[in-house]
Amino acid sequence: MIYLLNALSLLLEIAFDVIATLFVLRLLAEAGRADFRNPISQFVYRYTNPVLAPIRRVLPNWRRLNLAALLVCYLVMLIKRVVLFALVGTLPHVAGLLVLALADLLDFVLLFYLVLVFGWSLLSMFAADTYHPVLRLVEGIVDPLLKPLRGKLVVGMLDFSPAVVMIGLLLARILIAAPLFDWGNQLARGF
């Protein structure tokens, strides 16, 4: 029975993470001012706008941050946690649930950035088509992270700014997201 629960929880996590990916992509693309004419940007906009449009009437953007997309991402992570706890038959404290959802969202965004920076740096080593929609979108998203370091960490013909950013993202996962997970688990259990 435990194997069935593990498989079901894996499938549920994947389903919720796919939904969260769409909204995180929308959030980061708007924050990084990615090209809207990009077909992938239009796809993300088309499928997230029906959910975000009513929320944006109440919760407008703050600078370049789409607060409605951030709220939906948080709610997706919160619902994911509720469903996973319900699957194992436990009832956590609400405060722990809220903190765990925040930790989930933070860790998800950090991991998302980590994958994008790694993929972008790997593709930049090869003769990839710079006009490809995926590469343009990824570059628009990772550029705000890499821009402050670009050109300052060059040795020979290699730019080590993506490596430094990836180390920073990994450290943020270890030093910020992991303690937040631990605190959320303690609150959820009532300690």
Q: What is the pTM of this model?
A: 0.91
Q: What is the pLDDT of residue 14?
A: 96
And the tokens for 80? 């994911």
The alpha carbon of residue 166 and the mean position of all alpha carbons in its chain are separated, in whole angstroms, by 14
- Tokens 């700014």 correspond to 161
Q: How far apart are CA 187 and CA 181, in angstroms?
A: 10
Q: Which domain holds residue 135?
A: 2-189
Total domains in the fold of the chain: 1
- Do the beta carbons of residue 96 and residue 62 sit within 8 Å? no
Amino acid, res. 101: A
Q: What is the pLDDT of residue 157?
A: 79
Spans in the chain with pLDDT lower than 70: 1
DSSP string covering 97-166, please? HHHHHHHHHHHHHHHHHHHHHHHHHHHHHTT--TT-HHHHHHHHHHHHHHTTTTTTSEETTEE-HHHHHH
